């Protein structure tokens, strides 16, 4: 059984995404080099202007374009301040995308996000719970436990509510 975590599409804060999408088709699997350079420049301008979300958006652009090493570097820079970066780094460590494969570190990040007390990571919490259950089921990064897998999957299915 392949031990690969699900990569969920992340919600986009519409200001920067919509602004860039007016000029470029961001649904394209691979952007041409000129478009990629212009988008990167536009995002860097946003970062220089103080747009904190643009820091994540730059990493996500790299991730979606398969530039995993660049994505890894960018997400590491903002790990402590951006829960979406934490989620993506969890996937990257687990699957060895842009970094050495370290499923244990990937699961640690997923659990950290799954247990995140703030409301900022709510949209990714159930994905992290599901992925944690998968790790326990597949014995990847943690000791195999059907009970733990089930517990995490129930939380994910209930969107975090143990009462349902």
Each residue's pLDDT tens digit, 145-164:
999 999 999 999 976 555 55
Cα(first)–Cα(last) distance of the chain, in Å?
30
- 87 touches 113 (CB < 8 A): yes
- 104 touches 141 (CB < 8 A): yes
- What is the rounded CA–CA span in Å between residue 75 and residue 40? 15
> C-alpha distances in angstroms, 49 versus 10, 52, 62?
23, 9, 20
> C-alpha distances in angstroms, 136 versus 35, 42, 117, 123, 128?
41, 41, 22, 22, 12
Each residue's pLDDT tens digit, 46-87:
999 999 999 999 999 999 999 999 999 999 999 999 999 999
Task: Report the length, in residues, of the chain.
Answer: 164
DSSP letter at 142 equals S
Each residue's pLDDT tens digit, 92-146:
999 999 999 999 999 999 999 998 877 777 889 999 999 999 999 999 999 999 9
What pTM was estimated for this model as a whole?
0.82
What is the token pair recorded at 46? 């946003």
- Indicate the pLDDT class of residue 6, thresholds 50, 70 and 90: low
Q: b/e for 78-114, b at 16 or more Cβ within 10 A?
A: beeebbbbbbbbbbbbbbebbbeebbebbbbbbbebb
Q: Is 127 left (phi over 0), alpha (psi -120 to 50) or beta?
A: alpha
Burial degree of 55 (CB within 10 A; 0-12, 13-18, 19+): buried
């Amino acid at each position: 059984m392949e031990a690969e975590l699900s990569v969920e599409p992340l919600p986009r804060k519409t200001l920067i995404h919509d602004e860039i999408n007016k000029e470029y088709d961001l649904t394209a699997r691979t952007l041409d080099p000129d478009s990629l350079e212009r988008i990167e420049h536009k995002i860097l301008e946003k970062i220089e202007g103080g747009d904190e979300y643009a820091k994540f958006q730059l990493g996500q652009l790299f991730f979606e374009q398969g530039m995993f090493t660049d994505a890894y570097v960018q997400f590491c820079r903002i790990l402590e301040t951006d829960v979406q970066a934490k989620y993506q780094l969890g996937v990257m460590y687990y699957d060895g995308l842009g970094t050495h494969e370290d499923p244990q570190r990937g699961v640690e990040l997923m659990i950290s996000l799954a247990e995140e007390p703030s409301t900022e990571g709510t949209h990714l919490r159930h994905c992290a719970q599901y992925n944690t259950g998968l790790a326990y089921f597949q014995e990847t990064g943690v000791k195999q436990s059907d009970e733990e897998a089930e517990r995490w999957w129930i939380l994910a299915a209930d969107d975090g509510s143990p009462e349902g």
